[in-house]
Amino acid sequence: MSVIPCTKNPIVEYIKYVIQQYELDPASYDDSLYVAFQANTSHTFTSNVNTEYCCPSCGTYGFSFSAALAEAFIVIQASKNSGCCLNYNTTNAKKNRFTAMITEADTYQYENCCNEFQGCSEDLLRLIQSKYSTPDASINPENNIGVFEISLLAGETITCALYQYLTTSSLSDTYIYDIIDFIRVYGLVVSCNIGESENFETTVSTID
């Protein structure tokens, strides 16, 4: 089977899909984009040779704003992602859950990957900080949030693509808040099933 060029980011396409579903009938989701995400926690994109959704470079792909969810992903995947990339930028490095995540990552020999993740994750963390005004300590970015990326998509970090989408797509503050909040609570996973006919499915779902 020939290699299909990567042209679409499944994380960004998934967010666009949920927004599209929400805007078709906001009332059916209680006028809340967050509720729309809860109602669409898994979606499958089917592609052909001309419209590939970028697949994980190693095993599956995980993205979260929580060390606890990143740890859960590593535990669930076990050796499937052994030796893959693990990039993270976090404000909760002294938290017990962060330590547990690193312990699990060491078990499966995850490695830091050199790419644009660091700069883009810092931009994304600043964006998150600017969108949270709640005094609730459980979601205060200073205490309990980071950017965790496990594996890559077609060899590239998607953190930059996600930040670019959130800041250049004319999204309202409410939309951005709900997108961030959903990823914070649920996390995201991408997996691919490539078929013999060069059609394949890319699934985006939660890791909660």
Q: Is residue 191 part of a domain?
A: yes
Q: How far apart are alpha carbons 89 and 189 in whole angstroms?
A: 18
pTM, two decimals, is 0.89
Q: Is residue 1 part of a domain?
A: no
Question: pLDDT per residue over 115-156, tens digit each?
Answer: 899 999 999 998 888 876 554 445 554 556 789 999 999 888
Cβ-based neighbours of 93, under 8 Å, separated by 6 or more = none
Q: Is residue 111 part of a domain?
A: yes
Q: Is residue 32 part of a domain?
A: yes
Q: How far apart are alpha carbons 127 and 9 in whole angstroms?
A: 20
Which one, of 73, 62, 110, 70, lies nearest residue 90 by Cα? 70
The first and second tokens of residue 68, run together, are 């606890």
Which has the minimum average pLDDT: 19-23, 80-84, 92-96, 190-194?
A: 92-96
Domain of residue 179 covers 6-205
Domain count, the chain: 1
Question: pLDDT per residue over 33-69, tens digit each?
Answer: 999 999 999 999 887 766 678 889 988 999 999 888 9
pLDDT at 66: 87
